[in-house]
Structure 1
Amino acid sequence: MKKINFVSIVLVAAFTALPLFSTSASAESAKDNYGLYCVQCHGLAGTGGGINAPHLGVAPRNHTSAKDMGELSDANVATAIRDGGLSVGKSSQMPSFKTVLTDAEIADIVKLLREKCKCEGKKK
């Protein structure tokens, strides 16, 4: 339990500091942003097997699962990215990216996730 708490503190500190080091020029596309902010937990392929995944208390979402991703609306996915996991009733391990990504960049990541899952997602 102490290990999970330590990892949580480190992750929160790291993601809090990200705005200090990022610029819009460093991540112009959804793929770049996904690679910069998401792969550590969700993995390069988006299957949930990122380098940080074994240290989290809950498995990161598999973005390639049409079944799981198809049950989520685009608005739900965007809210999770913007406001963090707790905002959609999920894990606090998923940080908020509202200080790092613009709404347009978040919308582009949602489109990328729809490509990964080959699904459209639940309509409101």
Structure 2
Amino acid sequence: MEILKYKESGLNPGVTLDIENGKFSLSGKSCPENVVEFYKPIMEWLEEYQTKPLDKTVFEFDLEYYNTASSKILFIIMQKLEAIKESGKDVLVKWYFPDDDEALEEAGEEYDDLIEVDFELIPTKSTD
């Protein structure tokens, strides 16, 4: 599978989907003008990955902000990760959040409650 990588740009998140190096991440802000269009290649990549996943998938979410439309896509991504786990593979979600951002922490807790994968909530030092 080819590496899918986008640099963080304005309201679009940074994306790394790299099966060769086992690196899967979303970072920055996720408020693209057209969420469905932006995430379409990411979803297609993940659908292909689901057919032949690594024995262990660690997916890092390091988002400083995302809008409601993105939150729905994030949930769909996590459902895909859950399906990989159900196929017998190990899956770990790492949810990073600034230690002073209760909303992002609570969002991570909610995702953790909704999906059946190993889930780590990881506070980071705020840059403010």
TM-score normalised per structure 2 = 0.34
TM-score normalised per structure 1 = 0.35
More helix by share: 1
More strand by share: 2
